[in-house]
Structures are given as C-alpha cells and as structure tokens.
Chain A
Amino acid sequence: MNRKRSQGRFVFFCIAPAAILVTLFIFIPTINVFRMSLYRMGGITNRKEFVGLNNFKSLIADKNFLQAMQNSIAIIVLVTLCTVFFAILFAAILSRGKFKGKNFFRVIFYIPNILSIVVIAGIFGAIYNPSTGLLNTFLNAIGLGSLAHQWMGDEKIVLYSVIFALVWQAIGYYMVMYMASMAAIPQDLYEAASLDGATEIQMFFRVTLPLVWSNIRTTLTFYIISTINLSFLFVQIMSDGGPNGHSEVFLNYMYKQAYGAGVYGYGMAIGVVVFIFSFALAAIVNKITEREVLEF
C-alpha cells in the first residue's frame, strides 16, 4: 500500500512539470484567445468592451476575410496534393531505385528544409523578379519568352507562385519521412511479389503504398498545420497579400487586423475561426483516410 502511494507520488511529480507547462503556455493562452474574441479592444491599452459574438458576425460579412479564407484553402489543398505526390514519388525512386548518388539526391532534396524562410523568400525573389529573375531570363533564353510573366504582379498567378515555393520547400522533409517508413518494409515482400511477376509499378501500389499508408495519414495532419503556418510566413515576406489582396491568407489577415487596424479583438476572432477550422479539417481528413492497418 505504502509502496503504491510512493509510486503514485513519484508519477505525480514526473507529470507535474509538463502538465503545468502545458496549462500555462498552451491551455491558458488558447482560452484567452477565445475570451478576447468576444471583446472590442485595441490591444495596446487595457480598455475593452464586451461585444459578445459581434466580431464573428462582422467576420461573416467581411469580403476580405472570405477572400483570405478562399486563398488559404486553395493553398492547403494544392500544396498537400502536390507535395504528397512528389514526396512519395521521389521517396519510392530513391529507396527502390538502383542508381548512383542516391545519398546526394537525398541531401539536395532536404536542403530547402534547412534554409530559413527569409532565405527561401530571397531565393524566390531572385527567381520571380520579372526583369532579372532566373525564371523569365531562362524562358527568354530558350525562346519561350511568351511564357514569361509577372510572377508576383499578376493577380491570376501570384497565388500559384507562392504555392510553388511552399511545395519546393516541403518536398524534402516529407520525402525523408516516407523513405524512413519505406526502408522498414521487409525485402522479402518485394521478392515474393517479383516472383509472382509483379512490375515495379504494381509493387508500388500493392506493397509500398498500403504499408506506408498510416505514415501518410499522419503526415496529412502535418500538412494542414504546417501549410497554414508557413503560408503566413511566405506570404508575409513574398507578397504581403498583394497585389490588392490576391495572395492574402487568413493568418496574415489576422495579423494585419490585430496589429495594424486597431481591432485586436476582431483579430482574435479570426484566430478562433482558424483554430476551429484547422482542427476540424485535420479531424475530417483523419476520418476519411481511415483504412485497416496492414502490418508486416
């Protein structure tokens, strides 16, 4: 009995620091965001006025917010689709393919992840610059000058320019994650499949993909959360939402409203919507990708 009690005490003291930290730095601030979204406040002085759900009512009618929301959803969907496709493709090639320099490519693909966002934005600034940028200069050099565009100036293209940078940045990270789980698949499964006459493509769809599925599911949640966060950083540096709001994302809009327009409470209301949106999206994606877990 005494032993059980002392064990209980030990467990309590082990958990306590983490529990206190999580409460202090995660739960309380999150609850505070929800609370502040019910106030009209500027965020500098401590003056505030309780307005109930008024901030959320204004949000529904706010065209700029809806545009930012639309852009964010487009970014999340397209970045996830493109990154999953390329990351799995490269991971499969690098882990199953037999050619020299596999490690070299692995490093090359991973490099964008080591770079800071500011450096990446600088690189893309140099790529997209309309007169001196790599992209337009290259297109002109190979005689495809008609395809040269104002990559960051044209409202119809700017969002895709940001998406391309996000995908470029994300591929390496997810590729390494997929390669790790592909490496864990026993070789004899592939040997058995090849004895049965399966081609590499069939082996990919019948053996590799089902066995890394639970890994892909986990990364889908990462995609949603990291794309929401990274799109804010990329947009803030690459375009600041311009031209005329066509590359605005909801976190950048929230930042502008909370810290630039003097409506901090409204900014927090946007934060609440983003919070609920990302939770709900992650839950939905998790649910619809549920499959029977295959083990080897």
Chain B
Amino acid sequence: MKKKMVKKLISVSLVSVMAVSMLAACGGGSSNSDEGGASSEGDSNVLKVAAFEGGNGAEIWEKITAAFEEETGCEVELTLSSELDQVLTKNIQNGDIPDIVYYNLGQASGFTETMLKEEAVADISDVFDDELKGKMLDGILDGTAAQPYGDGKIYLAPIFYTQTGFWYNANLVGEGKEYAVPTTWDEMFELGQQAKADGRALFTYPQPGYFDATIYAMLAQAGGTDFYNKALTYDANTWTSDEGRKVLDTVAELVSSDNIWADTVSNANTDGGFKINQQAVIDGEALFMPNGSWVVGEMANSTPADYEWGVMGVPKWSADEDQAVYTFTEQMWIPADAANIDLAKEFIKFMYSDTVVDLCLANKTTNAETGEESDSPIVVPVKGAADKLPDGVIKSSFQTGDDVVAVTGTWATTAPIEGLDMKGSVYGPIDSISNGAMTVDEWQKQLVDVWEQCANAME
C-alpha cells in the first residue's frame, strides 16, 4: 500500500513538474518580448542599424558604423544577417524596431516592398537638401527606386549603385576576337547566326527575374524617359504602344530557340541552377547574359585564371540613338515607428560622406570556401566615386559619356494586390516564350491585365 502511494506521489510530482516547466517556458517567452518592447523606446544616443549581409560582406558595415560612432560620439547597435527579413519581422512584431534598415527592393522575400505597402517607411525627403542633391549623381533620386509611390517624396535612400547590362566572355567577344561587340539589335541577332554556326548560343539568362534591368533599359531606349516613367507608374498604353510591343518582340526573339542556350530554362528554375547558366558564358557555350557587377565575385570560384569578363549596354534599335543604361541601386530606409529618426537621418547623410565613399571603394570580401581575400569595391552614388575605381571590367561597367542616359527606378509601389506576383507575371512568361509554349500576344495581354490591376491599386 505504502509502495503504491509513493509511486503515485512520484508520478503526480513528475507530471506537475512537466506542466509547470512548460508554463514557465511560455511565460519566459512573453517576458522577453516585453523587454524588447521597452528597449525600442531607446536611448537617443544609441542608433540601431540593421543591415543585410550579402555579397558586399559584413566588414564594410562594421567599418562604416565605427566611423559614424567616431564622428558623432553616439553608439551604434549593429544587427547583421543574411536572413534580415526574418529577423526583422520577428523583432518588429515584438515592438523592437530598428532605427535604420539596409535591405533592397526586389528581394524574393519582398520585405521592403511589404513595409512600403504597409506605409511603415518614414518620409526622408528632408535629408536630401540642395547641398546633398548637388553632390549626388543626377537623376538618382528621381525614380521610383527612391520615390516608390511616385508622389515626389523620397522614402528610400539609394546608398550604393551599379550599372547593369549584358555581360559577356571577353576572350571570345571584343575587338580582334572571334565575335565583334554588337551595338544594335540587328548586329546582335546577326552575331547569333554566326555563333550558331560555330555551335554556340547567343544568349542565356540566370533566371527570368534578371530581365528586370534589361526590360527597364529597353523601355527607356524604345520610348524615352517620359514613356519609361509612365510605364513604371502603370500607364495603360505601355504594352499596347509600338514602343512597348517592340520591347516584347525583341525579348521574344532574343530568347527564341535560335538564340538561347538550350539548357537555360531548365537551370533557371532549379535551386542554384542560375549559376550553371552563368557558367555557360564563362565556358563559351553562350555569349551574352543580363547581369550586374556582382557576377564577377559570385562566379570567382569557377572562373579560369585567364578568363576575362566584358560588359556592354543593352543593344539599341538604331546606332545613332543615345544609350540607355539601367542603374541598379541598393536602398536604405527608416521605419516610420523608429525611435531615433533624427539620428537615423544623420546616418543616411553620413553614407554619402567622403569617409564612407572611400571605405566602400576599398572594400574587400573573403571567399568563404578558399579564405582568399579579393577586392570588392562598392560605389556610392555621388559624383566622381566611380572614377576612383581601379581600371578593369568593374570600372568599365560604369558607363559615362554624353550619349549615355542613366535609367533608374522600379515598378511603382501599389496597395497590396491579392494573387499578384509581380516578378512572376512580368518576367515568368519569358521561360514560356523561350519554350514556345506562349506567344508574344499572350504575354502582352497578360501584361496589360497586370498594368490595369496595378493602376487601380495606385494610391
């Protein structure tokens, strides 16, 4: 009887320990979040910087924040993560809001776009006074990449930039090489026939989403700046106009089976497959692809020592037109509920100072696999920064000149639209056109529908 009693007591106590410890665990969770909430009110001398850890490496952010601390005497709390969207979503829901965020538009998570749609990003127009505007590249603040609602107010600070275009294998293409660099689409497609005869393909693309910069540049090339800006804010005639149709037809010809590297679509959708497509250019199986200067570092591990990259603007329809070059910017922004908005604005101004410009140009990254350190300069969009780059393909990717028109911006931010995947609807059909499963007419119709939905959702 006694034994039974002891057994019972033991089991009851074990069960209660389990129940209590579980409840304690839950309680612990909520008290943590309270602490987070309290700390968000913050000390006015502590700046919480949250930065995406991507191709530029982590070190640059440590250097920039250290320089800012030295200059202003404040303390910077730096959060670096390659999954910043997930970290911040959790923190923001717990009331722990960073003062400043470096996270670009156009990422798969759509984090910045969602923050914009929720109207949770602060207006920072006053940061860009005449002095700062004068220092910055012309036009860099005018597009929808800085003014996402197209209302004349700046919400996103373009802190770094790179110019995009078609990247090629300079061992095969260039002066005195097997193939000449084309400037017009006619020359490009003639080159395609020549390449085909040699068993090579003219073109490949890492993923259909890489066509964003290409289509932006082509729209500006085809219809000029006004047409381009109207297209970004969903003008109904964008795709039915001659200019819009010309863009679609040209893309369709570029990715047709005559010109495209046959494995492109298969690789474009598999995990990590975009690198196989990029490798095809290095291996000489395809000649051109749309990309940005990050491709040099991204493919460094599998690039032979004697290989040379080349870059050119997206071809034009006629040789005497100006060359439209799409400028890809990286964005920094302040959450509307940040505790330290004034200090955060100071930080944004600091991003354009000579100190940061020089730190960025001297940036180096370390290859995680080989441990090798290599130059990885980042360019701040202030006048003269790109001129300080060392000679090489990265410098040549920053095209300047009287006949170059820099194009910037992204499709304008609308109110949330249920069931719309912007990237999938605009660029996804390129896969189907390449396969022959979709016609240009069908693509055009789809785009017209998407533009109508977006125009209705513009505020």
List A residues at the B interface (Cβ < 8 Å). Answer: 10, 13-14, 16-17, 20-21, 24, 40, 42-47, 54-55, 58-59, 61-62, 64-65, 121, 125, 128-131, 150-156, 237-245, 247, 256-257, 259-263, 266
A240–B432 touching, CB < 8 Å: no
B270–A125 touching, CB < 8 Å: yes
B419–A58 touching, CB < 8 Å: yes
B93–A46 touching, CB < 8 Å: yes
Residues of A within 8 A of B114 (CB): 42-44, 262
Once bound together, how far apart are the Cα atoms of A64 and B428, in whole Å?
Answer: 12
Residues of A within 8 A of B273 (CB): 125
Assess whether B404 is interfacial by the CB under 8 Å rule: no
B416–A262 touching, CB < 8 Å: yes
A10-B12, A55-B418, A153-B263 given; 13 more Cβ-contact pairs under 8 Å: A20-B22, A40-B416, A44-B111, A45-B118, A45-B337, A59-B418, A64-B421, A129-B266, A153-B264, A155-B437, A243-B269, A244-B432, A261-B421
A238–B271 touching, CB < 8 Å: yes
Q: How far is the CB of B421 from chain A (nearest CB, A)?
A: 6
Q: How far is the CB of A8 from chain B (nearest CB, A)?
A: 13
Q: Which residue of A24, A150, A238, A244 is within 8 Å of B429 (Cβ)? A: A244
Q: Nearest residue in A to B86 (C-beta to C-beta)?
A: A259
- Sample 20 A-B pairs with CB under 8 A, ordered by A number: A16-B15, A17-B15, A17-B19, A44-B111, A45-B118, A54-B418, A58-B418, A61-B419, A64-B419, A125-B272, A152-B267, A153-B264, A237-B271, A238-B271, A240-B271, A243-B432, A244-B437, A260-B110, A262-B118, A263-B419
Once bound together, how far apart are the Cα atoms of A247 and B270, in whole Å?
Answer: 11
Residues of A within 8 A of B437 (CB): 155-156, 244
Once bound together, how far apart are the Cα atoms of A244 and B207, in whole Å?
Answer: 11
Q: How far is the CB of A71 from chain B (nearest CB, A)?
A: 14
B431–A62 touching, CB < 8 Å: no
Interface residues on B, range: 35 or more
> Which 5 A-B pairs have CB atoms at the shortest separation, nearest pair first?
A242-B269, A153-B266, A262-B114, A243-B431, A62-B419
List B residues at the A interface (Cβ < 8 Å). Answer: 8, 11-12, 15-16, 18-19, 22-23, 26, 88-89, 92-93, 108-111, 113-115, 117-120, 208, 262-273, 276, 337, 416-422, 424, 428-429, 431-432, 435, 437-438
Residues of B within 8 A of A256 (CB): 421, 424
Q: Which residue of B93, B110, B264, B419 is within 8 Å of A65 (Cβ)? A: B419
B421–A150 touching, CB < 8 Å: no
Which one of A14, A43, A151, A260 has the greatest number of beta carbons of chain B within 10 Å?
A260
Once bound together, how far apart are the Cα atoms of A59 and B418, in whole Å?
Answer: 8
Once bound together, how far apart are the Cα atoms of A131 and B417, in whole Å?
Answer: 40
Q: Nearest residue in B to A156 (C-beta to C-beta)?
A: B437
Residues of B within 8 A of A54 (CB): 418
Q: Which residue of A13, A152, A154, A260 is within 8 Å of B421 (Cβ)? A: A260
Q: Which residue of B8, B16, B118, B270 is within 8 Å of A152 (Cβ)? A: B270
A20–B19 touching, CB < 8 Å: yes
A14–B15 touching, CB < 8 Å: yes
Q: Which residue of A59, A155, A261 is within 8 Å of B432 (Cβ)? A: A155
Once bound together, how far apart are the Cα atoms of A14 and B18, in whole Å?
Answer: 10
Q: How many A-B residue pairs have CB under 8 A?
A: 164
B271–A243 touching, CB < 8 Å: no
Once bound together, how far apart are the Cα atoms of A59 and B419, in whole Å?
Answer: 7
Q: Nearest residue in A to B414 (C-beta to C-beta)?
A: A262
B19–A16 touching, CB < 8 Å: yes
B417–A152 touching, CB < 8 Å: no
Q: How far is the CB of A263 from chain B (nearest CB, A)?
A: 5
Q: Which residue of A61, A62, A151, A241 is within 8 Å of B266 (Cβ)? A: A151
Residues of A within 8 A of B11 (CB): 10, 14
Once bound together, how far apart are the Cα atoms of A119 and B432, in whole Å?
Answer: 28
Residues of A within 8 A of B421 (CB): 64, 256-257, 260-261
Q: Nearest residue in B to A9 (C-beta to C-beta)?
A: B12
Residues of A within 8 A of B435 (CB): 153-155, 243
| Contacts A10-B12, A244-B428, A260-B110 given; does A153 touch B265 at CB 8 Å | yes
Once bound together, how far apart are the Cα atoms of A121 and B269, in whole Å?
Answer: 13
Once bound together, how far apart are the Cα atoms of A237 and B111, in whole Å?
Answer: 21
| Contacts A16-B19, A244-B432 given; does A44 touch B418 at CB 8 Å | no
Residues of A within 8 A of B208 (CB): 242, 244
Q: Nearest residue in A to B265 (C-beta to C-beta)?
A: A153
A45–B109 touching, CB < 8 Å: no
Residues of A within 8 A of B267 (CB): 129, 152-153
| Contacts A13-B15, A62-B419 given; does A242 touch B263 at CB 8 Å | no
Once bound together, how far apart are the Cα atoms of A225 and B276, in whole Å?
Answer: 34
Q: Which residue of B8, B263, B417 is within 8 Å of A263 (Cβ)? A: B417
Residues of A within 8 A of B92 (CB): 44-45
Q: How far is the CB of B336 from chain A (nearest CB, A)?
A: 9
A245–B428 touching, CB < 8 Å: yes
A243–B268 touching, CB < 8 Å: yes
Q: How far is the CB of B413 from chain A (nearest CB, A)?
A: 9
Residues of A within 8 A of B119 (CB): 47
| Contacts A13-B19, A150-B265, A243-B269 given; does A44 touch B89 at CB 8 Å | yes
A239–B270 touching, CB < 8 Å: yes
Once bound together, how far apart are the Cα atoms of A263 and B272, in whole Å?
Answer: 27
Once bound together, how far apart are the Cα atoms of A17 and B11, in whole Å?
Answer: 13
A263–B118 touching, CB < 8 Å: no
Residues of B within 8 A of A257 (CB): 418-419, 421
Q: How far is the CB of A292 from chain B (nearest CB, A)?
A: 41
Q: Which residue of A10, A239, A245 is within 8 Å of B8 (Cβ)? A: A10
Once bound together, how far apart are the Cα atoms of A59 and B420, in whole Å?
Answer: 11
| Contacts A155-B432, A261-B416 given; does A239 touch B89 at CB 8 Å | no
Once bound together, how far apart are the Cα atoms of A219 and B310, in whole Å?
Answer: 57
Q: Nearest residue in B to A6 (C-beta to C-beta)?
A: B8
Residues of B within 8 A of A42 (CB): 114-115, 117-118, 120, 416
Q: Nearest residue in B to A15 (C-beta to C-beta)?
A: B15
B424–A130 touching, CB < 8 Å: no
Q: How far is the CB of B128 from chain A (nearest CB, A)?
A: 25
Once bound together, how far apart are the Cα atoms of A43 and B90, in whole Å?
Answer: 10
Residues of A within 8 A of B417 (CB): 261, 263
Q: How far is the CB of B87 from chain A (nearest CB, A)?
A: 12
Residues of A within 8 A of B418 (CB): 54-55, 58-59, 62, 257, 263, 266
A238–B262 touching, CB < 8 Å: no
| Contacts A64-B419, A128-B266 given; does A44 touch B271 at CB 8 Å | no
Q: Nearest residue in A to B425 (C-beta to C-beta)?
A: A64
Q: Which residue of B23, B118, B266 is within 8 Å of A44 (Cβ)? A: B118
